[in-house]
Structure 1
Amino acid sequence: MKTIQKVSKERLAQMLPGALLKLGNQIVTFDGCNTEPDYKNRPAEFVHYTDSQGVQRRFDIGTVIQSATEHLDAEACDYCGKLRLPEDLKKVSIQFYKHSELHTFCHEGNCVALYQSTVGRPRASVTVNRRASWAK
């Protein structure tokens, strides 16, 4: 089971416009990076890309480095967040208080048990004997 690396700042500088990236759960087209003033007029590095609907967008380079990869079929584990190939992941039903949901976890390891332990559920109710002891 291999962890897929996220894109680095150096790799972004080498990428040509038109390259495909997986940013979060969508595939985007890389348009370039440059330094522009942010909302406080301080210089900041931004990555420009075109999303799947054809809308041009930009993100701070730090955000892109944390969530983008060049492997278009990569998926993240819902507990540890590591990017993995689909064959290294499994879908598991997680039990909540009144429903269950399918989530994606690492095939190896204990991500499923750790995630399930974070779900808050009420304790099983204890049966209370409502008869008074003198009424027996």
Structure 2
Amino acid sequence: MFSTMISFQAMFSCLMICLSGYALIRARTSEDSIRFFFFFLGMLYEVFFPCYAGNEVVEKSEELLFNLYSSNWPELDTHSKKMLLTFSIRLNDPIIIKFGFIKRLRLRTFTEVVDISYKIYAVLQRTQK
């Protein structure tokens, strides 16, 4: 449901990180530098938080599967064992939050967004020379 919105947010945030970094370097007054610096940090946080949360969901789902296998399941009744078996089969594939039908929300995605932002920034710097 949120896949399209998150992908647009990531693209927009990538552009805003790049432009705010460029504006930070080009700021003429210290007041403007402070404003652009805090805007830059805010945009980084806006991208980092969903990526961190997606990474945590994957890690916790993998931890849940380990805890399920480590539990005292042999002492359960037959119906509960069947339920645990069904649940463990579902947990064999970790829970992954995706956006844009391709990208997964994880910490690596954050570094990719920052990397793309820096590449755009470098192109902007090169055109100013």
Same fold, TM exceeding 0.5?
no
Larger strand fraction of residues? 1
Structure whose alpha-carbon radius of gyration is higher: 1
- Normalising by the residue count of structure 2, what TM-score does the alignment of the two structures yield? 0.26
- Normalising by the residue count of structure 1, what TM-score does the alignment of the two structures yield? 0.25
